[in-house]
Amino acid sequence: MFVAAIILALQPEHATAQQTEDERAREIFEKLDERRRAVTYETSSMEMVIIDRRGRERNRGMKMYSYSGDDVNKTLTVFESPADVRGTGLLNLNEEGTETQLLYLPAVGRVQTVSGSSRNDRFMGSDFTFEDLGNQNPDDFEFELVEETGEYFKLRAVPVNESQYAFIYFYVDAEKLALTKADYFDENDQHIKELTASDYREVKENVWRPDLMVMRDLKAERRTELRWKDRTFDEPIPDRYFTERQLRRGLQ
């Protein structure tokens, strides 16, 4: 213990500097999260396009309802088309740091809780997993500030809970404080996936939203595009939309 105390005493400046950088990285992500939650209600019409390595496409229409409040985030996503997936829904609930994901498949006729290794599964055959679609809070990661330029911040984020990723590099626009890119790595330090967000527009003062997000599976050489076609902000959504009953009802 005496030797350890001496070693610590000889390295206070380095430890303090490292702690400051880590805290700054977390602060940047917290500001990004604040901007994300700055819109209380959002209703969106979206198109999901799944593109395989041969360029073949599968198109799906979706409707999304979201609510952000104090320590509460709720999102209901329901498929409108094609007919074979119509009514399929995903309900994300995050309350005081506790996240629950519920999936409803009309063909099965029951609601399933997505947990454990199931969070690594592809969502409806896309390149987004259930984990990717979860609510990524600052408390879910340990951060390191890797690079800072006048245009962006590069953060290294290590998940603190069970995850399919060993670490993620988040790129945050320095002016908009919005996510522009994320690189995902596995336990072998291999770059396995890449997310890009573009076509940003200002929906409120200093609050930006992308109209296009693309997730690329670098191993499978395929990608999924999410395209926003219509968005409505801060028009109240009934609480019943974020319930298991509404999940079963879909768009009715």
pLDDT tens digits, residue range 202-228? 999 999 999 999 999 999 999 999 999
| Rounded distance between C-alpha atoms, residue 196 and residue 208, angstroms | 15
- Tell me how far CA of residue 201 lies from CA of 34, 135, 197, in angstroms: 17, 22, 11
> Angle 12-36/2-10 helices, nearest 10 degrees?
70
Residue whose structure tokens are 């801060």: 234
How much of the chain exceeds pLDDT 70, in percent? Answer: 92
Tokens at residue 245, please? Answer: 């009953």
Q: Provide mean pLDDT across the span 154-173.
A: 97
Given a contact cutoff of 8 angstroms between Cβ atoms, the answer to whether 101 and 92 are in contact is yes
Given a contact cutoff of 8 angstroms between Cβ atoms, the answer to whether 144 and 155 are in contact is yes
Quote the pLDDT of residue 19.
Answer: 57
| Rounded distance between C-alpha atoms, residue 166 and residue 183, angstroms | 11
Structural element, H or E, at residue 146: strand 141-148
pTM to 2 decimal places: 0.89
- 18 pLDDT above the threshold of 70: no
- In this predicted model, which residue has the larger pLDDT, 169 or 7? 169
| Cβ partners under 8 Å of residue 21, min gap 6 | 144, 145
Quote the pLDDT of residue 12.
Answer: 44
Q: Provide mean pLDDT across the span 90-96.
A: 92
Quote the pLDDT of residue 17.
Answer: 53
| Rounded distance between C-alpha atoms, residue 46 and residue 209, angstroms | 13
> Per-residue confidence at 3, pLDDT binned at 50, 70, 90?
very low
Quote the pLDDT of residue 1.
Answer: 44
> Per-residue confidence at 157, pLDDT binned at 50, 70, 90?
very high
| Cβ partners under 8 Å of residue 47, min gap 6 | 59, 60, 61, 62, 225, 226, 227, 229
- Tell me how far CA of residue 195 lies from CA of 39, 79, 130, 176, in angstroms: 22, 22, 15, 18
Go through the domains of the chain in sequence order and give each one's CATH number. Answer: 23-249 (2.50.20.10)
> Per-residue confidence at 89, pLDDT binned at 50, 70, 90?
very high
Quote the pLDDT of residue 252.
Answer: 61
Quote the pLDDT of residue 5.
Answer: 38
Quote the pLDDT of residue 16.
Answer: 53
| Rounded distance between C-alpha atoms, residue 214 and residue 227, angstroms | 9
